[in-house]
Chain A
Amino acid sequence: MTIPKAIRLLLGFAALLVVIWSFVHVGLRLAGTRSDVGKINLTILHWGNAEEEQIVIKLVEAFEKEHPNVKIHRLHASNYDPKLKTMLAAGTPPDLFYLTYDNLEEFASEHLLMDLTPYVTENSPTGRHQAKWLDDFYPILLDVFRYDGHLPGQGALYGLPKDFTPMVTFVNLDLFQKAGVKIPYDGWTWDEYEGDMRKIAALSLPNSQPADRIYGGVINTYQEVLNNILWTYGGELFGKDGTDFRDIRLEDLKAQAALQMVKRLRLDEKTVFNATGIALEGGQQFYDGKIGCILPIGRWMVPRYRSIKDFRWDVVPLPHGERTVSRITTVAWTISARTQHSQEAVALLKFLCGREGQAMSARLGLAIPSLKSVAESDDFLTPGLEPKNTPLFLKEITHARRSLTPKEKEFNRIFEQEMSSALQIGNISTMDAARNIRQRWLRELDSPLRKEQAAPMPWGSLALLGVGLLTLLLILFVRCASRENLGPIDRANQRAGWMFIAPWLIGFALFTLGPMAFSLLLSFCKWSSITPLGEARFVGLGNYKHMLYHDREVVGQSLWVTVYYVMLAVPIGQAASLAIALLVNAKVRGIYFFRTAFYIPVLIGGVAMGTLWLKIFNNDYGLLNGLLRPITALFGATPPDWFGTDAKRWAIPGFVLMNLWTVGGGMILYLAALKGIPASYYEAARIDGAGRLRQFSSVTLPLISPFIFFNVVMALIGSFQVFTQAYVMTGPGPDNSTLFYVLNLYYQAFEYHSMGYASALAWVLFAVVLVLTLLVFRASRRWVYYEGLRS
């Protein structure tokens, strides 16, 4: 026995053992009897990293010990939106779940949340006083989870905050000192901030490489962050102190002054780092010691920054203009309105937000306890640990403010797209951005889809109709088939064909046809995916009209981005995988290793790969531009800022380039096809005097054409639905430059809660891809050669 064979045998044996062990392990678990019969079952859903999850696990165990009659099913989801929303849509929401306060209005107005007020009022004769234990929460944190039917902030209580953070500034003390800037522990004005940024940025050496440059600071451009800056300038996002959502005040002088400051520092003076891409908010640059200060940002950076060894750092207040304001971020545990066990659910809610859990998470350092007694204890203040100025987080409560945003999340999309144009790319002025936001937002609000009250969708009669139609089709089909005059052989052939494809037919009828038909029906509905199906309203062609008349820019942009990608990625990807297949078809030593090397990138997916690509493509620090810079310098040019300022032109080619790493999948199919070509064909061609190229075009290409056809069709269908990489890496990108069609559809379905509209978008895409695929099928008759099929 040779050594490789022995290794293979050994591996096979090990694999077999693992499989057997797995089946035994899972089998035993399934066979184990459940002891929770007769108990009260509560389901809770939460997110968080491993440490945060451990805290919830410990709390759940402690609660179950105290309440032996309750069994808690704890669900943890890193992708929270799709998980929560499928559960809500199916009418089986978790009993308790996390909610951020910008979702409160929508959830409360759809009656998805249980009103906690009766459970938190004192048992006094009037029942109007709030229970004593509630006094330990910071009042503003409770207020953000109140809703009176019109506006959040007052009325009934719908959630208990588990923790919170105000916005502050993280500063690199060493850089401040080096630049001779006073550390603004007692606050600073925006003018002082600008001056300080200039002084710190001047620390970079002249002509330094982008990777070594020092910036004064980082200002993020998220809606929440910009909102905070607006407030400090004395501006407002909306009229009537931020409560009239039809009245956008971004064109006011004070708001403009704030926006222009951000633009000036990021794009004109470049004293502030122009961070782009969702995963690149400058937090890492601060860590690396290249950034003077980062703002407005919350407590959550603390655990990571505690491992900084190269410089000293601390937290200081945000700069102020007319006002000193700090925006509050907080997450609450809420209870579903559909819970069967409200008493136990409330007990659990109080326990999860109780002192024990808050003390544990305070020690973790990610957030600030919502209970005063814990926040003011050493569990949170952690004397001796960085940042020294931790009490600042509690001081900021005095000028904390919650931000109100419309429950229609499209506002965020419009806002962030226009702001990324003005503040990240700089292709429009801040005034234009403000005007565009106002106009687009009003048009969105005026869509008939938002206004009209439509009739409920008659699901029952539709189901009957569907069943009737199907039976009719079946009867017609059977009658046609029986009328046909077929010989016994043909008949047997027909029957055998049907038998062989039966597995797919059954699967199609059971699991595919229904959901597809259902989504088609939904495309004529208005349905937010967080309410049960019965709430769906029939709007006819409303969704399709909305697409054409009210959302044309975004749909058009996403279609263009996608088509651009498909046009580049499909031909380039296929050519590359064929070329690599030809290369690894070489008969040389170690070819097994080389083939595996080319295939490995297919295996690394998801989060890990996205993070890597962002680093490779980063303009200042990235590997790619580091290599390109000397080359482009020969022509007196600089390489593109792929996902940053040059995103409009270069983001899609960037994605195509990334896609090239995953050509291994196509490669193995081509490789198998190449191996299937008998050597005798090439010999015959050589005897006829064909050269290498001629052999390739007359022997190789026709014989592998069925697989080229397969790969092209699959790449076409797949590329139109490209989603994951953009979702992980860039989101919509600056000025929607990476808003792929399905990415937009996903946001509509799971973030803006317009499942009906998302379905309409999906069916439009379906039609486009179907037409293109049929064209490819039709054309294939001319160039695809099946050796086994000859007519």
Chain B
Amino acid sequence: MTTIAATLPTPLAAPRRFDFGKFFAYAMLIVGSAIFLIPFSWMISGSLKTEANAQSSKVDLLPIPAIPQWQNYSESLQKMDFANCLANTVVITAFVVLGQVISCSLVGFGFAKFSFRGKPGLFIVMIATMMLPAQVTMIPVFILFRSLGWIDTFLPLVLPAWLASPFFVFMFRQFFAAIPDELLEAARLDGASNWAIYSRLMLPLSGPVIAIVAVQSFISTWNDFMGPLIYLNSPENRTIALALNSFKGQYGVTNANLLMAATAVTMLPCILLFFASQKHFVESVAMSGLKA
């Protein structure tokens, strides 16, 4: 991290003088992130309490309680059969992230850089498919997958991701639209095929959007609950999100402390991923500079 901060130009830097702008930015960042970390801090503290204290109606702001119950972590992971759930979730998520990035970038490229008959209409149709609440298509989709014999397999969760989801297609399209057409024309004149333009020009230029799509599809798949609930049956196929929900009993959440410990562990890969991939979605691709 230090190297990055060091290599970045610091326009506000004015040595040996009190820099009000920077001070203000720091103040805002510290106050803001403290507010945003309240839920996380509450969860960590809850995960280290006894069950009785974790249920208390007062919200504790200190992340480590007086007598931390570290065994909550081992107990909760054991209860949810963590290793097995983790393997299932990793396999599903890996396929989905790969599928989303590949298929959505292809379709986004198609919508952004080609003009063909019916394109505007099709684009609206694609956006419109997101407007019907999933609650009413759930049963027909289930019947469809059942007739294909895919119930209790990962296919209903994984395969649709390889056929592009509108949200990420739209996102890719917005990024691609910002890449100047002249760049594509130049490549075409050099004899590049459409495929070469996509893979050698567009993709290398879209590091940020690929990183964002990868992170967001990772997180939504990792935390998806409804899909696995409906399509998976066998306990050995359970995903982490399903297992987390089994801490909820007939009469509300029972083991709140264990639930929070398990949630914290589950979140960890997402936090690390976000932290590590930031570099990619804030890298500036000097595409506009190429135009000159």
Classify the interface of chain B: helix, strand, loop or mixed. helix
Report A-chain residues with C-beta under 8 Å of the C-beta of B146. 90, 92
Contact B271 A596, beta carbon cutoff 8 Å? yes
**With A47-B250, A50-B255, A604-B267: A496-B2 Cβ-Cβ less than 8 Å:** no
B227 to chain A: closest CB distance in Å? 11
Q: How far is the CA of A606 from the CA of B224 in the complex (A)?
A: 10
Q: How far is the CA of A672 from the CA of B172 in the complex (A)?
A: 13
Q: How far is the CA of A477 from the CA of B263 in the complex (A)?
A: 51
Q: How far is the CA of A786 from the CA of B287 in the complex (A)?
A: 13
**With A493-B115, A500-B106: A672-B2 Cβ-Cβ less than 8 Å:** no
- Say if the beta carbon of A671 comes within 8 Å of chain B: yes
- Say if the beta carbon of A140 comes within 8 Å of chain B: no
- Say if the beta carbon of B36 comes within 8 Å of chain A: yes
B42 to chain A: closest CB distance in Å? 6
A119 to chain B: closest CB distance in Å? 27
**With A308-B52, A671-B281, A774-B124: A604-B43 Cβ-Cβ less than 8 Å:** yes
Contact count band on A:
35 or more
Contact B181 A300, beta carbon cutoff 8 Å? no
- Among A75, A589, A603, A669, the one with the most B-chain Cβ atoms within 10 Å of its Cβ is A603
Contact A26 B88, beta carbon cutoff 8 Å? yes
Q: How far is the CA of A73 from the CA of B278 in the complex (A)?
A: 43
- Among A301, A503, A615, the one with the most B-chain Cβ atoms within 10 Å of its Cβ is A503
- Say if the beta carbon of A777 comes within 8 Å of chain B: yes
Contact B59 A522, beta carbon cutoff 8 Å? no
Contact A512 B129, beta carbon cutoff 8 Å? yes
Interface locus among A16-24, A106-114, A255-263, A379-387 = A16-24
Contact B254 A304, beta carbon cutoff 8 Å? yes
Contact A83 B229, beta carbon cutoff 8 Å? yes
Q: Which residues of B, 134-170, contact A by the 8 Å Cβ criterion?
A: 135-144, 146, 151, 160, 162-164, 166-167, 169-170
Q: Which residues of A, 724-769, contact B by the 8 Å Cβ criterion?
A: 742, 745-746, 749-750, 755, 758-759, 762-763, 765-766, 769
Q: How far is the CA of A611 from the CA of B263 in the complex (A)?
A: 13
Report B-chain residues with C-beta under 8 Å of the C-beta of A92. 146, 151
- Say if the beta carbon of A714 comes within 8 Å of chain B: yes
**With A587-B9, A714-B167: A79-B250 Cβ-Cβ less than 8 Å:** no
**With A494-B116, A706-B178, A787-B180: A79-B245 Cβ-Cβ less than 8 Å:** yes
A664 to chain B: closest CB distance in Å? 8
Q: How far is the CA of A677 from the CA of B254 in the complex (A)?
A: 50
Can you name the residue of chain B whose Cβ is closest to the Cβ of A580? B32
Contact A615 B2, beta carbon cutoff 8 Å? no
- Among A480, A596, A790, the one with the most B-chain Cβ atoms within 10 Å of its Cβ is A596
Closest 8 pairs between A and B when the two form their complex, measured CB to CB: A507-B163, A500-B110, A49-B249, A497-B114, A597-B33, A497-B116, A22-B90, A515-B140
Interface locus among A222-230, A281-289, A402-410 = A281-289
Q: How far is the CA of A577 from the CA of B121 in the complex (A)?
A: 30
Write the A585-596 contact mask toward B (1 if CB under 8 angstroms, else 0). Answer: 011111111111
Q: Which residues of B, 258-292, contact A by the 8 Å Cβ criterion?
A: 258-260, 263, 267, 269-272, 274-276, 278, 281-289
- Say if the beta carbon of A560 comes within 8 Å of chain B: no
Q: How far is the CA of A308 from the CA of B56 in the complex (A)?
A: 12
- Among B57, B112, B245, B259, the one with the most A-chain Cβ atoms within 10 Å of its Cβ is B57
Q: How far is the CA of A623 from the CA of B136 in the complex (A)?
A: 38
